[in-house]
Chains A and B, each alone.
Chain A
């Protein structure tokens, strides 16, 4: 059987390396792929944001046209949510969660790879709209009356691109659920799971329940626009409000899909750098689950002004405010984790410290918007923009940046410069508050959201200028981080298992980066903070093996996920151009045939994986010491 070729660390040619990445099913490599893909789209979305802010820098600006501005905000929002924030979080989940639970891989390595490639091709499809025809321009919410009226193919790109990427997300979610349920090491009970694993688990459950509504909504939109459907077309008996409901039934859980894993990352950081066990672990778990459940019960708070009536508005207002309670529980637990701890202000910890006030502000404005009568004032104003950036940037993006510093050594074996890391933090943090704090007041002064330009002398000029300057500071921060990454990679100073020295969970008990089979022997878990317990007991190995050293069964790589996603990508173009070009229908069919053929190839071909022999493991383990 094939063993040697897969393990020996030899220098490979470019072609072989590329092939390796295209076919990999290793969760650590897929994690890196997600970081690269998500990072690319993050930069793209950031450039779009800078262009938006440049347009709004001064009154009556004509840097971009009104139509192009609509495309910019739509693509910025859609890209940041679906193609940057979520994939970047998936990157860390993939890289870290299997290690935290003592597993050798995820439950479905093939599906894991399929999820990545579908995300990638979906995102590519969406962004090709810039070059082919027009980009979507109805906002990331794509409300139906507007999106049905939009000319050109922009909205078609939105509907099909998100359909493909969303399918990938659903697969990733299911894969994480099954992994966490089935692949935990012996002794790793649910109540011993690290919080990042817990929040990944709950976020994946939210994906499981929230993405199907999005799929349905996007199909309706696709049919309305491309196949003569009338789901949202009022003239033909459709209902345009239904889109809003479907979108937000998905959309509100979506914000928790983003922010729960971020909470998980910060929980890890607070315990590690306070050198204390997490305060109120079980309350944290309970709060996470409760936030997840309540997240499904509040979607209409995005629709207070639609006219659902006082009963609906009142009930949804109360439900919304209820979520503040478990969120508050979490905030206090983080504070109490630090209380009396011996705190080290490293770069990740700096982000965590900055996160608390920023996120609390976003939460407070959220509760304000949750008060239905007040929301009539705030709705569609810049106040909303300020609010969701405080939660998304102050919560999610800070978590992603923190995790980049925290987990970089584990993923790549080198330590990012702490000094440059802190420079990044301060630029980003100050820039963030400069950009978004004043937007609260712009909103209160009447500046509408998604506005292309504005007249001078309404008291908005200065605040808009400061806001745009802040965006530049954030961009500088990100550039410093890129420089940091390049310098660190060039220097290539290797680090040991536990580079932060205070690691508590299993991922810090094995080499950085871990060998491809992760654990030579499956670890035995004796409690929460497994690695910490072993360190306290003076266990040099880092973990107690639960089994004798024996051959390890690993899956083969596969090119099929790539081809399956490529088929959907091709079919998307066919569906879009079916009406105006004669090649449309054949391309649609050809793409689907490609997907289904590769799917059946996967079903009929038995791939039993391969074994890593004991001798090889011993050799690798000695090498990495």
Chain B
């Protein structure tokens, strides 16, 4: 079992630094979580209140888009370092899907 794998203990300064960062991240996540619940509430209320669909549908779609962004950037950590490539791949995928749909609605079907 003698593997030369080092176990590196954190110094107190390092430990405090990491802890402070983790606390801050946790606070961010909680806030975003609350915000997302709030946005969901708005969507449900908008439907229940019986506003015109012309108003409700765009609002809900907009909120959904914001929520997707929050989900990705906060809960799936895309805002942190080292996520450049996943982001690039996702945006490429979005671009290809967008161009495909755009092609259909502009030149193929109409």
Contact = CB atoms under 8 A, between A and B. Distances in A.
Nearest to A551: B3
B107 A551 contact: no
Contacts, number: 36
B3 A312 contact: no
A296 B96 contact: yes
Contacts of A309: 107
Interface in B1-30: 1, 3-5
Secondary structure class of chain A's binding surface, majority of residues: helix
B89 to A, nearest CB: 7
B107 A315 contact: yes
A611 B1 CA distance: 9
B89 A551 contact: no
Contact of B107 (A181, A311, A550): A311
B48 interface: no
Interface size range of chain B in the complex: 10 to 19
A197 to B, nearest CB: 15
Interface in A570-625: 611, 613-614
A181 B83 CA distance: 12
B89 A205 contact: yes
A209 interface: yes
Secondary structure class of chain B's binding surface, majority of residues: helix
B93 A209 contact: yes
A300 B96 contact: no
Nearest to A249: B100
Interface size range of chain A in the complex: 20 to 34
Given A181-B85, A296-B100, A551 B5 contact: yes
B96 A312 contact: no
A132 interface: no
A209 B93 CA distance: 7
B49 interface: no
Contacts of A297: 99
A312 B100 contact: no
Interface in B88-106: 89, 92-93, 96, 99-100, 103-104
Interface of B: 1, 3-5, 85, 89, 92-93, 96, 99-100, 103-104, 107-108
Given A245-B104, A300-B108, A309-B107, 8 more contacts: A205-B92, A209-B92, A209-B93, A297-B99, A312-B107, A312-B108, A551-B3, A551-B5
Interface of A: 1, 177, 181, 205, 208-209, 245, 249, 293, 296-297, 300, 308-309, 311-312, 315, 550-551, 611, 613-614
